[in-house]
Amino acid sequence: MKEFDIAIVGAGQAGPALSKSLAKAGRRVALIEREHMGGSCINFGCTPTKAVLASARVAHLAQRAQDFGIAIPSVQIDFPAVLRRAESIVQRMRDSLQESFGGDNPLLLSGHARFLAREESGFRLAVGDEEIRAKQVVLDTGTRSALPDIDGLRGIDFLDAENWLLRRELPQHLAMVGGGYIGLEMAQFYRRMGAGVTVIQSGGQVAEKEDADVAVALQRLLENEGITFCLNSKAVRFRKADGGVMLTLESGGKTTEFFASHVFIALGRKPNTDDLGLENIGLRPTEKGLLEVDRRLCTKVPGVWAVGDIRGGPMFTHIAWDDYRIVESQLIGDESRTTKRIVPYAIFTDPELGRVGMTEKEARESGRNIQVARFDMKANGKAVEMGEAEGFVKVVTDADSQRILGAAVLSAEAAELVHIYVALMNADAPYTVLKNAIQIHPTLSEAIQSAVSSLR
């Protein structure tokens, strides 16, 4: 039986980096992956979605060419070719990661891992048909699409985050069930490819964790591209129909029927913790399948750590990657790094939404003395010159300390621009540092400065 100091289950964003770091520090490490290296990000999430969104943006700009004084008689979209391009990028990144694990430490093991027992010296696990022992175990098993218990759903051929890249047929009309981050990004992608798109959202706004003014502005931008939204509407039944699917929607106590050629389910993620043999070591997930951890990412069973999506909280790739640095700090570092951190994120629609920190609603509920500043992108010279003047910048600050509490940037390149605020927050610097700085002109980043310049 192979013996290891540390076994890492899952080769998502945290696992590979952590395994190499621990091995370099002299630990005997096993990295276990049952299918593809790279986790959800490389295989069906970040990498392919951003690749197809790039293709969609090219198509969108080509169709707007007249706005820039350019004549393009027609724009022909080869939908299968768009997907093949994304798939080729996925394959290259997956292969590159796989090839980087050719040695015996860390040792890459292929197969599904399950705990068999908790022993005095650590843990015994099954990996496929063999057994291994490890003194400590890091779980990085990620999530999969959460499929709701809706009548008829299992009887239709629906799309979700895991299978969309394999579907080469462009929907005639797509019903996007879910108006969260995944739903909005993919809705715009399919619309720009030429599909009709209707977003069905059970709540009263899309991107429900955002401030209402931000969510409404984002929705209107997508509506301007021809996407239809059904808010406060819940899909309660699916049935096959000639050429597609008939959906029954419930809204305000009334039901209506809606036809779509295809259905995409984007209703959140489910942790991959239900087949790990956790019961054999006395570790019980929450009702939602999550593993509770402390600030150092240790579970309630000493020696077992959980990183990435399975431990709850915002499910973003960059959080999982930083989780590797937290566990690294605990196992071979000074133990100082914890989950007390500033986490930015983005919705990669076009324009993008870059976000960090508190919303205005959260800041007001906190009881702080706050100031809120807003700057419209139509007043930024570079945005106008680029033909990208939609959106705005919104900053929430603590009026007493002059620290930034949160920001929302809805604009072109917002996922890049928001990092100016992120840097200030990480440095615990007042917004006056940015207010008094010199920005290059003309740039989009001037809008980031202009927003705080109105604060007193």
Tens digits of per-residue pLDDT, 261-272? 999 999 999 999
pLDDT for residue 216 is more than 90 = yes
C-alpha–C-alpha distance, residues 235 and 263, integer Å: 11
pLDDT tens digits, one per residue of 358-387:
999 999 999 999 999 999 999 999 999 999
C-alpha–C-alpha distance, residues 371 and 385, integer Å: 30
- Which is nearest to 20 in space by CA: 94, 122, 97? 97
Residue with tokens 């049952």: 34
Token representation of residue 277: 């043999």
Q: Determine contact, residues 289/270, Cβ cutoff 8 Å.
A: yes
Amino acid residing at 93: M
| Mean pLDDT calculated for residue range 405-419 | 98
Token representation of residue 247: 């959906």
So what's the pLDDT on residue 280? 98
Mean pLDDT of the chain: 97
Amino acid residing at 445: S
Backbone φ and ψ for 122, nearest 5 degrees, come out as: 145, -125
- Which is nearest to 199 in space by CA: 218, 181, 183? 183
- Which is nearest to 352 in space by CA: 416, 301, 304? 416
Question: How sure is the predictor about 416, in pLDDT bands with cuts at 50, 70 and 90?
Answer: very high
pLDDT tens digits, one per residue of 50-103:
999 999 999 999 999 999 999 999 999 999 999 999 999 999 999 999 999 989
Give the whole-number percent of the chain exceeding pLDDT 90: 98
Domains of the chain: 2-37+101-144+270-332 (3.50.50.60), 153-267 (3.50.50.60), 344-453 (3.30.390.30)
**Beta-carbon count within 10 A of 218 CB:** 24
Which residues have CB under 8 Å from 149's CB, separation 6+?
A: none
Q: Determine contact, residues 29/5, Cβ cutoff 8 Å.
A: yes
pLDDT for residue 146 is more than 90 = yes
> Which pTM was predicted?
0.96
- Which is nearest to 328 in space by CA: 4, 3, 6? 6
pLDDT for residue 456 is more than 90 = no
- Which is nearest to 188 in space by CA: 214, 212, 159, 218? 218
pLDDT for residue 1 is more than 90 = no
3-state DSSP of the chain: CEEEEEEEECCCCCHHHHHHHHHHCCCCEEEEECCCCCHHHHHCCHHHHHHHHHHHHHHHHHHCHHHHCCCCCCCCCCHHHHHHHHHHHHHHHHHHHHHCCCCCCCEEEECCEEEEEEECCEEEEEECCEEEEEEEEEECCCEEECCCCCECHHHCCCECCCCHHHCCCCCCEEEEECCCHHHHHHHHHHHHHCCEEEEECCCCCCCCCCCHHHHHHHHHHHHCCCCEEECCCEEEEEEEECCEEEEEEEECCEEEEEEECEEEECCCEEECCCCCCHHHHCCCCCCCCCCCCCCCCECCCCCEEECHHHHCCCCCHHHHHHHHHHHHHHHHCCCCCCCCCCCEEEECCCCEEEEEECCHHHHHHCCCCEEEEEEEHHHCHHHHHHCCCCCEEEEEEECCCCEEEEEEEEECCHHHHHHHHHHHHHCCCECHHHHCCCCCCCCCHHHHHHHHHCCC
